[in-house]
Amino acid sequence: MRALDLDPTRLEELAHDVLGAALAWTQTLDERSVKPDSSGSQLLALFGDVLPESGLGAEESFGLAALLDHSRAQNGRFFGYVMGSAEPVGVLGDFLSAALNQNVTSWRSGPAATTIERALVERFAHELGCDGFSGTFCGGGSSGNLMGLAMARESKSPANEVGARPATVYASSEVHMSIPKAVALLGLGRDNLRLVAVDEAFKMRTDALRAAIIDDIDSGRTPIAVVASAGSISTGAVDPLEEIAAITREHDLHLHVDGAYGGLAALAAPDRIGPLGLADSVSLDLHKWLYQPIDCGLLLYRDRDLARRTFAHTDDYVASLADDPLEAFMFFEESIELSRRFRALKVWMSVRFHGLGAYRASIREDLELAARLAQKIEDSDDLELLAPVDLSAVCFRARQPSTASLDSFNRAVLAGVNERGRVYISNATVDGRFALRACITNHRTTIEDVDALIDEVLTVAGALS
């Protein structure tokens, strides 16, 4: 027997245990607390002893029951950040993808996987108004944004051979942290990211954008790109794409859309997002508003040659020798990654199983639930809505006239609500004010969950008054 041999019957037993745990998790998700009762030291004691010299066997080595009990349940009452909820058919797809272990570098390494991924890219591009765009699946919005801005740099201030020079990038003051991170990593200098002012609805002010670009040009700087948010992280504000695209065309800049949070809402409500097809690159997160298990980002781009100029640097040992253009296709010439997971499988399986219409309906329902939540907040004398609801992020706070600092009062409300473990919310800063933030990108969330959120906030705020 060789060191890692596994008896087929034993493997079946193990598979049964693991599948059983996964099913138990999915089936009890709704009953579980969104805040597991765990402490750091307790978990270190449980899971910290990682690598025994001799194998322990399934029960001792996995401790699956403890793993479940100390994991956070993304059920319908989890409203924090921008979280999807691992649609179960997608989960099975991820499992199968690991078993198949296709290395989706290219058609040659993963023929079916590459064909499926390319077909999905084409279909999503079409559905999102980006006909003719190419694309690659990636780890998430951060890597999509990094690759989109790498293309912008290579297009407007080529750096691959000679190194990066400072160049200016524009985004609203509400932009997600992954953009300054990308600007820094690309050697452009974070000081060269211009945070453009927003209007009262937290959307980029295009007059301020135009003025900032002209000011930089007049000062001898090199503007290269504008990042528009299709769903900003705090309030879900959608920047005015058409007006921004007119400015990027006028000044020959790359337009990148960060649609990691909101871009997929265009499947259900295209008017809320605007014409994504005007962009040069669009970053999307299918592990957010297409409910897929993490990780599953998708970067779409208009110009495949630009993607190749940016990312291709092919060694002889991987160069394709095929003549057929389909079979010669290589993702690694258009992406940061060489070895790549078969991310498309979960999407392909779950969307084919449910149908795209079911996804549109679920996104529409999330939008309606967010509108209902906003309405309930507006109807309450004890709550205050802090920002318009473009998509499904709702920023609000509890009123407390007798308290000196509404910010610290609401910090205490947030802590109290999350401590109780029935619902989970996160926070945001809205116009300098501390906001409670609930975001609905979860196919499991129901009207009852939204009502539970209001109950919890009012109960905690009442107890603190």
Ligand X SMILES: Cc1ncc(COP(=O)(O)O)c(C=O)c1O
Give least dist CB 262 to ligand X, A.
Answer: 7
The rounded distance, in Å, linking the Cα atoms of 225 and 149 is 8
Q: Kindly tell me which of 380 and 429 has the beta carbon lying closer to ligand X.
A: 429
**Tokens describing residue 71:** 């994991």
Residues 239-268 vs ligand X: string with x where CB under 6 A? -------------------x-xx-------
Q: Are 392 and 437 in contact (CB under 8 A)?
A: no
List residues bridging with 437 in a β-sheet: 395, 426
Of 285, 334, 390, 449, the residue at the interface with ligand X (CB under 6 A) is: 285
Q: What are phi and psi of 221, to 5 degrees?
A: -90, 175
**Tokens describing residue 43:** 């978990």
Give least dist CB 252 to ligand X, A.
Answer: 25
Per rule CB under 6 A, is residue 310 in the interface with ligand X? no
The rounded distance, in Å, linking the Cα atoms of 414 and 408 is 10
252: left (phi over 0), alpha (psi -120 to 50) or beta: left
Q: Kindly tell me which of 135 and 140 has the beta carbon lying closer to ligand X.
A: 140
Give least dist CB 50 to ligand X, A.
Answer: 26
The rounded distance, in Å, linking the Cα atoms of 368 and 385 is 16
Chain positions 59 to 88 lying near ligand X, rule: CB under 6 A, are: 81-82
Of 142, 292, 426, 427, the residue at the interface with ligand X (CB under 6 A) is: 142
Give me the sign of the Cα torsion angle 182, 188, 190, 195.
Answer: negative
Residues 95-134 vs ligand X: string with x where CB under 6 A? ----------------------------------------
**Tokens describing residue 427:** 């926070």
Q: Given the rule CB under 6 A, which of 94-102, 141-149, 166-174, 427-435 is the region that contacts ligand X? A: 141-149
Q: Kindly tell me which of 118 and 176 has the beta carbon lying closer to ligand X.
A: 176
Per rule CB under 6 A, is residue 140 in the interface with ligand X? yes
Of 176, 205, 256, 340, the residue at the interface with ligand X (CB under 6 A) is: 176
Q: Given the rule CB under 6 A, which of 7-15, 103-111, 120-128, 139-147 is the region that contacts ligand X? A: 139-147
Environment class of 295 (CB within 10 Å of its CB; exposed 0-12, middle 13-18, buried 19+): middle
Which residues, at least 6 apart from 246, have a Cβ–Cβ distance to it below 8 Å? Answer: none
DSSP state of 292: P
Size of the residue set binding ligand X (CB under 6 A): 16
Q: Given the rule CB under 6 A, which of 98-106, 137-145, 379-387, 417-425 is the region that contacts ligand X? A: 137-145
Report which secondary-structure segment, H or E, holds 383: strand 383-385
Which residues, at least 6 apart from 335, have a Cβ–Cβ distance to it below 8 Å? Answer: 136, 138, 147, 307, 311
Per rule CB under 6 A, is residue 148 in the interface with ligand X? no
**Tokens describing residue 203:** 């959307």
Give least dist CB 232 to ligand X, A.
Answer: 6
Q: Given the rule CB under 6 A, which of 204-212, 228-236, 339-347, 381-389 is the region that contacts ligand X? A: 228-236
State the residues that interact with ligand X by CB under 6 A: 81-82, 140-142, 145, 176, 178, 229, 231, 233, 258, 260-261, 285, 297
